[in-house]
């Protein structure tokens, strides 16, 4: 007999008991928190009134149309032509001094460099890979490397742990990662982990979901994640999932926000693997260590614009950034494991299923494997500042097999 759809957590009688209690001390923060909970309660109540059988639906077609409108001038192009045009556009964004800029003629910056390399790896054709000038990219990475091991986002720009992740991500994907380039980077990132357990943007500040993901993922690429206080990090990140809302906050005492569905929940696959490697015996073989269903409920009920696109929280407007990271977080919440051990938890109909995403690079695991295979056939470019043994040029396992997800290739 068909057991029917999974009962929703937010429909259960105990759910209101998860609401915030201010212990009689009202603050600006507690008032904001209650306002958000109230708006979410309303969303849930409206949903309850119109759906006796709860089956939250991912508005796939609407999101697709919203994103397609973002690709200006490409409205009726065939997919293959879109890819060709994207390659050509990104080639124009590549700086003559290496790396990619936010637009043609601008200065190279690590964030668009990360985005461009990921986009080219998603396209995954010879033409796409060939856009990347690896020798110049290595020059650019050296130009933003600092003597203490950190990186600035662009020449003359700010230091924070995002830059270490962007640099490690593009260097590992394109096989230009040298030990010298990342000398002292591990220690610098480790110094960003504070007493809370999470990581801050630079040493000494407040722990923050985006920076914590970036720092942890960079250490995974460098093969040094075991040097973090993993248990403290685990305690910090699981405490960032909101009891009533089901989504994650970015920092302690802040409001829920859909984009942290990836930055925070995306840490759990990295931690699961790191703790497994450390010999932790109590790890589940079916679930990440967060409430996967609660996160899916938050994204599907509270973060979808009915005409397409996803958002921070009810009342906020949609944008491409939140569309990307809500969907990436939804994918993490749906898929546990890797190719050998894969367990799905899909809230709602099977149509809601997204493709798995690679927890380090946040693109499809097959695309990561394909890019690594392609670039590892090419020789590592001569590093002018690295005169060491070339055998040491190989990065430690850049593709964490235990966290790379399954091979089903449904489009997200």
Look up 254 and say whether it is catalytic.
Answer: yes
User: In whole angstroms, how close is the CB of 224 to Zn ion at the nearest point?
Assistant: 28
Q: Can you list the alpha helix ranges (DSSP code H) found in 13-133?
A: 28-50, 60-70, 79-93, 110-123, 126-131
Look up 312 and say whether it is catalytic.
Answer: yes
| 3-state DSSP assignment of residue 162 | helix
User: In whole angstroms, how close is the CB of 317 to Zn ion at the nearest point?
Assistant: 12
| DSSP structural state of residue 132 | -
Q: Which of these ranges, 14-22, 56-64, 308-316, 336-344, lies near Zn ion under the rule CB under 5 A?
A: 308-316
Look up 342 and say whether it is catalytic.
Answer: no
Q: 95 or 212, CB closer to Zn ion?
A: 212
CA dist list (Å): 62 to 47, 68, 158, 331, 359: 19, 10, 37, 18, 26
Look up 14 and say whether it is catalytic.
Answer: no
Q: Which of 34, 60, 319, 343 is catalytic?
A: 319
Look up 180 and say whether it is catalytic.
Answer: no
Look up 76 and say whether it is catalytic.
Answer: no
37 binds Zn ion (CB under 5 A): no
Q: Which of 259, 302, 303, 326 is catalytic?
A: 259
Q: 207 or 222, CB closer to Zn ion?
A: 207
User: In whole angstroms, how close is the CB of 312 to Zn ion at the nearest point?
Assistant: 5
| All residues at 6 or more sequence positions from 27 whose CB lies less than 8 Å from its CB, including other chains | none
Question: What is the total count of residues that contact Zn ion (CB under 5 A)?
Answer: 3
259 binds Zn ion (CB under 5 A): yes
- Single out the residue of 151, 154, 259, 287 nearest to residue 215, CA to CA: 151
Q: 168 or 256, CB closer to Zn ion?
A: 256
What's the burial of 236, exposed, middle or buried (CB within 10 Å: 0-12/13-18/19+)? Answer: buried
Q: Which of these ranges, 49-57, 129-137, 258-266, 339-347, lies near Zn ion under the rule CB under 5 A?
A: 258-266
**Up-side HSE of residue 268: CA atoms within 13 Å toward CB?**
29
**Residue 366 · residue 357 · CB < 8 Å:** no
Q: Which of 114, 260, 298, 361 is catalytic?
A: 260
Would you state the structure tokens that stand for residue 91, as one six-digit string? 């080639």
Q: 260 or 361, CB closer to Zn ion?
A: 260
Look up 23 and say whether it is catalytic.
Answer: no
245 binds Zn ion (CB under 5 A): no
Q: Which of these ranges, 25-33, 96-104, 236-244, 305-313, lies near Zn ion under the rule CB under 5 A?
A: 305-313
User: In whole angstroms, how close is the CB of 321 to Zn ion at the nearest point?
Assistant: 7
Chain Cα centroid distance, residue 395: 22
Look up 129 and say whether it is catalytic.
Answer: no
Give the position of tokens 């051990």: 341
Look up 319 and say whether it is catalytic.
Answer: yes
257 binds Zn ion (CB under 5 A): yes
User: In whole angstroms, how close is the CB of 263 to Zn ion at the nearest point?
Assistant: 9
Q: Which of 134, 154, 162, 208 is catalytic?
A: 208
Q: Which of these ranges, 237-245, 252-260, 347-355, 358-366, lies near Zn ion under the rule CB under 5 A?
A: 252-260
C-alpha span between 334 and 410 (Å, rounded): 13
Residue 352 has φ and ψ, to the nearest 5°, of -75, -10
Residue 180 has φ and ψ, to the nearest 5°, of -65, -40
Q: Which of 133, 139, 257, 383 is catalytic?
A: 257
Q: 8 or 237, CB closer to Zn ion?
A: 237
User: In whole angstroms, how close is the CB of 247 to Zn ion at the nearest point?
Assistant: 10
Q: Which of these ranges, 80-88, 167-175, 194-202, 250-258, lies near Zn ion under the rule CB under 5 A?
A: 250-258
Q: 248 or 336, CB closer to Zn ion?
A: 248
C-alpha span between 302 and 67 (Å, rounded): 19
Q: What is the DSSP string of 306-355?
A: TTS-B-SSTTSPP-HHHHHHHHHHHHHHHEEE-SSSEEE---SSGGGPPP
291 binds Zn ion (CB under 5 A): no
- Among residues 196, 312, 366, 383, which is the contact residue for Zn ion, using CB under 5 A? 312
CA dist list (Å): 355 to 149, 333, 362: 35, 11, 11
C-alpha span between 166 and 112 (Å, rounded): 9
Q: Which of 145, 240, 251, 353 is catalytic?
A: 251
- Residues at the site binding Zn ion, with contacts judged by CB under 5 A: 257, 259, 312
Q: Which residues are catalytic?
A: 208, 251, 254, 257, 259-260, 312, 319, 322
């Amino acid at each position: 007999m068909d057991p029917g759809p999974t009962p929703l957590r937010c429909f259960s009688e105990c759910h209101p008991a998860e609401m915030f209690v201010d212990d009689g001390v009202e603050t600006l923060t507690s008032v904001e928190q209650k306002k958000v909970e109230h708006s979410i309660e309303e969303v849930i109540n409206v949903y309850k009134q119109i759906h006796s059988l709860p089956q939250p639906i991912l508005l796939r077609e609407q999101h697709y149309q919203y994103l397609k409108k973002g690709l200006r001038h490409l409205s009726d192009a065939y997919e293959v032509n879109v890819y060709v045009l994207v390659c050509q556009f990104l080639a124009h964004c590549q700086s003559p001094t290496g790396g990619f800029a936010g637009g043609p003629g601008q200065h190279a910056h690590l964030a668009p460099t990360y985005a461009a390399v990921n986009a080219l790896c998603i396209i995954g054709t010879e033409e796409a890979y060939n856009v990347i000038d690896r020798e110049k990219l290595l020059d650019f990475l050296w130009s933003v490397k600092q003597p203490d091991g950190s990186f600035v986002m662009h020449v003359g720009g700010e230091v924070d742990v995002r830059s270490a992740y962007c640099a490690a991500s593009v260097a590992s994907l394109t096989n230009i990662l040298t030990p010298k380039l990342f000398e002292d980077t591990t220690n610098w990132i480790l110094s960003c982990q504070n007493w809370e357990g999470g990581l801050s943007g630079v040493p000494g500040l407040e722990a923050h979901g985006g920076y914590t993901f970036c720092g942890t993922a960079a250490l995974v690429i460098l093969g040094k994640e075991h040097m973090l206080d993993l248990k403290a990090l685990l305690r910090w990140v699981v405490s960032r999932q909101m009891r009533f809302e089901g989504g994650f906050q970015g920092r302690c005492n802040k409001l829920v926000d859909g984009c942290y569905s990836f930055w925070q929940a995306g840490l759990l696959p990295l931690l699961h693997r790191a703790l497994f490697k450390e010999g932790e015996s109590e790890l589940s073989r079916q679930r990440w260590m967060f409430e996967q269903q609660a996160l899916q409920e938050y994204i599907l009920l509270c973060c979808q614009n009915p005409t397409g696109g996803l958002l921070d929280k009810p009342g906020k407007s949609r944008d491409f950034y939140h569309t990307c990271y809500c969907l990436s977080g939804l994918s993490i919440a749906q898929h546990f494991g890797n190719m050998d051990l894969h367990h799905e938890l899909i809230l709602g109909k099977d149509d809601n299923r997204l493709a798995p995403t690679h927890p380090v690079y946040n693109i499809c695991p097959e695309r990561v494997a394909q890019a690594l295979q392609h670039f590892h056939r090419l020789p590592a470019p001569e590093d002018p500042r690295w005169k060491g043994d070339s055998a040491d040029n190989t990065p430690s396992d850049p593709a964490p097999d235990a966290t790379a997800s399954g091979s089903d290739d449904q489009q997200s």
